[in-house]
Amino acid sequence: MGSRWPRITWLALGVIGLAAAGVLAASSGSRQTQRTGAAAAHATAPTDRPLGGRGPSQIRPLDDAILRTKLEHELPRAILALYNGLEPEVDAENNPIHQRAELVLNHLGLTVELRDVQKPLPSAAEMARFRGVLSWVARAPLKQPQKYLAWIAEQAAAGRRVVLLDGVGASQDTVGRETPAAELNRALEAIGIRYLGNRTDDPQRIAVEHKDPAMVEFERALPRRIELYEQYQLVDPSQGKSYLRLRRRDRPEGEGSSDVVVVTPRGGLVAAGYVYDELRLAGNYVLSWRINPFRFFAEAFGLERTPRPDFTTLGGARIYYSHIDGDGFPSITEVNRKSMCGDFTREEVLEKYNLPVTVSFVVAEIKPPPRGLGSPEMVRLARRIAALENVELAVHGLAHPMDWRARDKAIVSYELPGYKMSADQEIVFASRYIRDVLAPPGKTTKVMLWTGWCNPAEDQLALTYQEGLYNLNGGDPVMSGEFPSYMHLAPPIHVVGKHRQYFTSGPNEYILTEEWQPPYHRWRNLIQIFQRTETPRRVVPMNVYYHFYVVEKPPALAAMHDIMRWVIAQHPAALFVSEYIDVVRDFETMRVARLDPTSDEGWRVLNSGYARSVRFDRWDRHVDLERSRGVLGYRRQPDQQALYVHLDDSHDHTIVLTTQPPARPHVTYASSYLDKVSLDPARVSFVTRGIGRKHLSLAGLPPGVRYRISARNERGQAERATRTTIGAGILEWSSELNGTKIEVTIEKEGKGG
């Protein structure tokens, strides 16, 4: 479990770009582009104008008031996660909890703070804000196991849930001294478990006495031969649940039972060997959960009936975002053998599909010599992309370094005369070049898309924040037929020192084609990943992440069209990368409290207005809209056994659950942000925004009534329609209008047929 995040060797991409740059430098004079109006004037501007200084930050603020508000009966969401820094290749950024378990905890509405168990453990005052402790430290000795065990007992005594994975992990210290059994039991008994030892690794002596397959054979069945036995028992069987019980055949009946997967009112334990499995699947090294981590963590941390702040959903719609790493812009597509991949991507994808895309450029590919390998023609074509309404601008470096932490010794994909990798040049100069030279007036660079291994150091991350840029890339998540496990996905947040790097939600085409090798239609397997991460639970948004060179190969382009058509058919909540990161930032800081400390039916939620979904894994419930506040409606999702509650644009919300459906108008589905909402049987009005088709579904209106719908954006573009409510007062509407302020009114016309 000490392996690092999968890192892809991207050097081949640099070779593609360098070769293409040479071809295009010779041919660029013969290519023509067409512009009209302001875009044409922008396209003919000088290419070597001086760059401006740092502009205003593009990072939208969070609401500080939500952190200052006093909140009674608050539900702590933070989990302190302990890893063992003495394990090989394990540190604060690469450890089993972050890499394998954190996304599951995020899905349950929790946030995770990581700490090395070998360092001083937090004081009682520091621990006051944590819901519990998750410790996965069993793979190496501890420097001070007795101090660790005493601290664990203190946390349980203070009422915090304590969950131990792969056993206790404190059986000896770093010089080989055994921990007294009494010390182990003092910690375990505080959780409600007793350790009796009696270890054996003889499979002939071990048998399964009882198992709950849904809990202990989640992605991988137990082996026929059980090869490790240690004896654990619940202190009070009436105060806990045993999901896997072993027995020793060589002991009298009733004396050899061992509870190796247990949950108690104070936490839980999974003994060594029963958390996950590892195997070779074809040519891949694959990990699989044995326990059901969603169910196990929910029970062990006491979360079965609590709300889950959600970063995957908006208005019941699954969030979609897309971004392009700038590699391969000047490559020639094999589809017509005369177009550059950058311009062909514009024609075949960006202009064809009305969806937001965050597009980056590698400045060395675009900028003419001496500080680049591009040409005036590439500048003109890049500007044509930058001017598109559905494009948010990002930077993918100056020369595309591979290993950011190698600093000035890093290999770069584009060799510039006399250049050594510099974070200032890769981030600041490159982002300002895009802003000042490629972007049309009023548009700016918003996102840094990390290059190569996507491993920025703390000071390099800090530079993006100083420049006011969002950042994304890294994690290499995948859940395909080759890697069929939640263990190979990634959490959205990766902490580097004091700063946050944001991971992607899906793999790009380079990963799915095994380093851009035929057959290229394997890019279409992204649809399968979207399906696997939607049902039976929605764990991540849809993220279509690719490079300009994806249109180089006809099969990959065909797969791209299949992916885009499939995404559109899902009616997603389509966001730019910066907007998605705002959702994640809001998810992390959202606060939740019970209205009544004795009830799970009423909740108060504080947020910053970006993350507007709260999920309950209680799909048999409705929302009592009469007693709720700041709630637009809800959507029940039976295939996920989930209830998604839609929050409005205020920052203080009350959610009250009930068993009865509401009789008043409410939103059941909205694939875009809804602000200033008024819901009345005779008239509904709201303001929405965004790029792409917007879908709205209302319920609780009078049945069989015709409504006039009008929508107008800030540019005066308008759409009008009439719809008649069906069934029990359901009205559905969709629109292709784009804009930052789209005003919509839905007014009752009269009886309809």
Asked if the model's pLDDT at residue 29 lies above 80, the reply is no
> What is the rounded distance in angstroms from the CA atom of residue 450 to the CA atom of residue 644?
33
The answer to whether residue 508 sits within a structural domain is yes
| Stretch 469-496: mean pLDDT | 97
679: its two tokens: 């819901």
Q: Which residues contact 517 (CB under 8 A, 6 or more apart)?
A: none
| Stretch 392-403: mean pLDDT | 98
The answer to whether residue 435 sits within a structural domain is yes
Nearest to 362 by CA among 328, 403, 323, 409: 328
Q: List pLDDT tens digits, range 50-109.
A: 799 999 999 999 999 999 999 999 999 999 999 999 999 999 999 999 999 999 999 999
Nearest to 135 by CA among 347, 295, 300: 300
The answer to whether residue 69 sits within a structural domain is no
> What is the rounded distance in angstroms from the CA atom of residue 187 to the CA atom of residue 104?
26
Integer angstrom CA distances of residue 157 from 207, 212, 266: 34, 29, 9
CATH number at residue 223: 3.40.50
Residues 277 and 420 in one domain: no
Half-sphere exposure of 515 (CA within 13 A, CB side): 9
| DSSP codes, 51-100 | P-------SPPP-THHHHS--TTB---EEEEEE-TTSTT-SSSS-HIIII
pLDDT at 253: 83
Asked if the model's pLDDT at residue 5 lies above 90, the reply is no
Residues 48 and 112 in one domain: no
Residues 496 and 536 in one domain: yes
pLDDT at 48: 59
Q: List pLDDT tens digits, range 517-552.
A: 999 999 999 999 999 999 999 999 999 999 999 999
Residue 720: in which H helix or E strand, if any? strand 718-724
Residues 299 and 350 in one domain: no
Residues 293 and 442 in one domain: no
36: its two tokens: 């009209």
Q: Which residue has the tokens 């059994």?
A: 181
Burial class (CB in 10 A: 0-12, 13-18, 19+), 640: middle
Integer angstrom CA distances of residue 593 from 188, 411, 520: 30, 50, 49
| pLDDT band per the 50, 70, 90 thresholds, residue 255 | confident
> What is the rounded distance in angstroms from the CA atom of residue 312 to the CA atom of residue 320?
9
Of residues 23 and 186, more confidence is placed in 186
Residues 631 and 547 in one domain: no
Q: Which residues contact 455 (CB under 8 A, 6 or more apart)?
A: 7, 403, 404, 405, 474
Q: List pLDDT tens digits, range 196-225.
A: 999 999 999 999 999 999 999 999 999 999
Task: Point out the domain boundary residue: 253, 283, 305.
Answer: 305
| pLDDT band per the 50, 70, 90 thresholds, residue 49 | low
| pLDDT above 70 coverage of the chain, percent | 93
362: its two tokens: 């590698």
Residue 40: in which H helix or E strand, if any? helix 37-43
> What is the rounded distance in angstroms from the CA atom of residue 111 to the CA atom of residue 503?
15
pLDDT at 138: 86
> What is the rounded distance in angstroms from the CA atom of residue 559 to the CA atom of residue 513?
12
The answer to whether residue 652 sits within a structural domain is yes
Residue 750 CB coordination number (10 Å)? 8
Can you state the angle between helices 145-157 and 181-191, rounded to 10 degrees? 20
Q: List pLDDT tens digits, range 578-612.
A: 999 999 999 999 999 999 999 999 999 999 999 99
Q: List pLDDT tens digits, range 403-441.
A: 999 999 999 999 999 999 999 999 999 999 999 999 999
Average pLDDT, whole number, for the chain?
A: 93
The answer to whether residue 677 sits within a structural domain is yes
CATH number at residue 366: 3.20.20
469: its two tokens: 């840029």
Integer angstrom CA distances of residue 532 from 100, 487, 526, 527, 535: 17, 13, 10, 9, 6
673: its two tokens: 């942000």
Q: Which residues contact 317 (CB under 8 A, 6 or more apart)?
A: 571, 572, 573, 669, 670, 671, 695
Nearest to 396 by CA among 408, 384, 404: 404
Residues 115 and 47 in one domain: no
Nearest to 308 by CA among 614, 515, 629: 614
| Stretch 183-201: mean pLDDT | 95
Task: Point out the domain boundary residue: 559, 583, 607.
Answer: 583
Residue type, 579: E
Residues 344 and 233 in one domain: no
> What is the rounded distance in angstroms from the CA atom of residue 693 to the CA atom of residue 711?
13
Residues 577 and 464 in one domain: yes
pLDDT at 242: 98
Residues 474 and 622 in one domain: no
Max Cα–Cα distance, the chain, nearest Å: 89
Q: Which residues contact 243 (CB under 8 A, 6 or more apart)?
A: 211, 212, 215, 216, 261, 262, 263, 291
Residue type, 568: I
| pLDDT band per the 50, 70, 90 thresholds, residue 8 | very low
Q: 711, 674 in Cβ contact below 8 A?
A: no
Q: 162, 266 in Cβ contact below 8 A?
A: yes
| pLDDT above 90 coverage of the chain, percent | 90
Burial class (CB in 10 A: 0-12, 13-18, 19+), 255: exposed
Task: Point out the domain boundary residue: 243, 270, 305.
Answer: 305
What 8-state DSSP symbol labels residue 194?
A: E
Residue type, 413: S
Residues 578 and 604 in one domain: no
> What is the rounded distance in angstroms from the CA atom of residue 29 to the CA atom of residue 377?
7
CB neighbour burial string for 99-132, b if at least 16 within 10 angstroms, e if fewer: bbbbbbbbbbbbbbebbbbbeebbeeeebeebbb
| Stretch 254-262: mean pLDDT | 93
Domain span at 662: 590-751
Q: Which residues contact 221 (CB under 8 A, 6 or more apart)?
A: 213
The answer to whether residue 106 sits within a structural domain is yes
Q: 138, 132 in Cβ contact below 8 A?
A: no
pTM, rounded to two decimals? 0.94
Overall number of domains in the chain: 3
Residues 671 and 579 in one domain: no
The answer to whether residue 70 sits within a structural domain is no
| Stretch 224-228: mean pLDDT | 93
For residues 637, 640, 643, 648, the Cα torsion angle rounded to the nearest 10 degrees is -80
The answer to whether residue 255 sits within a structural domain is yes
Q: What is the CA radius of gyration of the chain?
A: 28
Alpha carbon distance, N-terminus to C-terminus of the chain:
63
Residue type, 418: G
